[in-house]
Amino acid sequence: MPAPVAGAQDRVYVSDAMDMAFDAQTEVSDEALLVAFGNGDREAAAMLTARLAPRVLGFAARMLGGDRHEAEDVTQEAMLRLWKIAPEWRQGEAKVSTWLYRVTSNLCTDRLRKKRGVDIDAIPEPADDAPGVAAGMMQAARARALEAALAELPERQRIAVTLRHLEGQTNPEIAEVLEISVEAVESLTARGKRTLAALLGHRREELGYVED
Amino acid sequence: MSKTEHPMMDDMALEALFEASRTEAPLPSEALLARIMADAEAEAAARERPAQSPVRPRTGVIAAVLGVLGGWPAVAGMVTATVAGIWVGFAAPDQLNTLAGGLLLTDDSGFAASYELEDIVPGGAGLGTLLEEG
């Protein structure tokens, strides 16, 4: 039990916020949790971690061409920046997830610049006898094929396509992450998808798409 | 012809790949979650600490005086004014006496003794008479 600290009566705790909401966990916004953590509530940090770390990790892994180790480092760093900004978080200005995607994309871009060129060969190719594999393995093969193709996209196209189609972000949210207009996001996503379609076209059969 | 050489994947097939990638997304390991929570704990603890032991910057006498005067630029101005004052007092240039209308006291005459109030207050003509009469 932590010792009571000065000003404790002013603090917002998750439990209070949850009491107000009928449906406990899902009703508390990321922002309310972040403010609660800024006031010293560790439970709020645990809930934010459970919600956001998987999304940050997934995004970072796609950005970094499937490099799991580096994606984990980026995730830890992005979350640390979230913990640091918690006390000064200005409510209502940006969504926590949008802010976090922006931090993550910047961290990934920095790492990619240092590495210059992801080693695409390091990403495992689907097995040669793919047409015969079971459905679950096909799923995994398709995911790997997509990630390999994503790694070949220019960075900003990769960010836009990943956020739109894999992370389920809206165009205005992506515009905020990339600090560009919504129209520019639409253009990036469209070009990215065209490139992906072309890159993956020759693998249709091995990925289970039968020719007409 | 070129269509068979560079086949494109249609939107539905691409959407199926996105779907596959979404379900195959990596999940954070226990170790990573523990590292993230340890950072959160350290941050929260660090924020609670500073109130109890404020680190006060050490200030010496010179720094204190400087603070009152307004820093080194203010001191530089004061030094310039002081030096100028000393020079004026020491050299007593003739021009200064001319500018002051001969009011400055100089050593080379007994003229200081012959000052009248009207000399110093030109508008006060007749003041001396008033005083005498009073």
Domain at A110, CATH number: 1.10.1740.10
Q: Are residues B36 and B77 in the same domain?
A: no
Closest to A101 measured CA to CA, from A125, A74, A121: A74
Mean pLDDT of B14-24: 91
**For residue B103, what are the domain limits?**
71-133
For the stretch B73-97, pLDDT in tens is 887 888 888 888 887 777 766 666 6
Q: Are residues A114 and A166 in the same domain?
A: no
Closest to A135 measured CA to CA, from B19, B49, B114: B19
Nearest by CB: B20 against A83, A87, A143: A143
The answer to whether position B27 is within a domain reads yes
Residues of A in contact with B25 (CB under 8 A): 54, 58, 61, 166
Question: Chain B residues within 8 A (CB-CB) of chain A?
Answer: 6-11, 13-18, 20-29, 32-33, 35-37, 39-41, 43-44, 47-48, 51
Q: Which of A92, A118, A144 is the last residue of a domain?
A: A118
Whether the predicted pLDDT of A107 surpasses 80? yes
Question: Dihedral angle at the C-alpha atoms of A50, A56, A61, A64, nearest 10 degrees?
Answer: -150
Q: Are residues B29 and B76 in the same domain?
A: no
Q: Which of residues 102-141 of A touch B (CB under 8 A)?
A: 139-140
**For residue A180, what are the domain limits?**
125-212
Whether the predicted pLDDT of A8 surpasses 70? no
For the stretch A55-81, pLDDT in tens is 999 999 999 988 899 999 999 999 999
- How many independent structural domains does chain B possess? 2
Determine whether the interchain pair A143/B17 forms a contact, defined as Cβ–Cβ distance below 8 Å: yes
Quote the minimal CA–CA distance from B59 to chain A in Å.
Answer: 29
The answer to whether position A2 is within a domain reads no
Residues of B in contact with A196 (CB under 8 A): 9, 14
The answer to whether position A1 is within a domain reads no
Cα–Cα distance for residue pair A71/A9, rounded to 1 Å: 39
The answer to whether position B62 is within a domain reads no
For the stretch B8-18, pLDDT in tens is 788 888 999 99
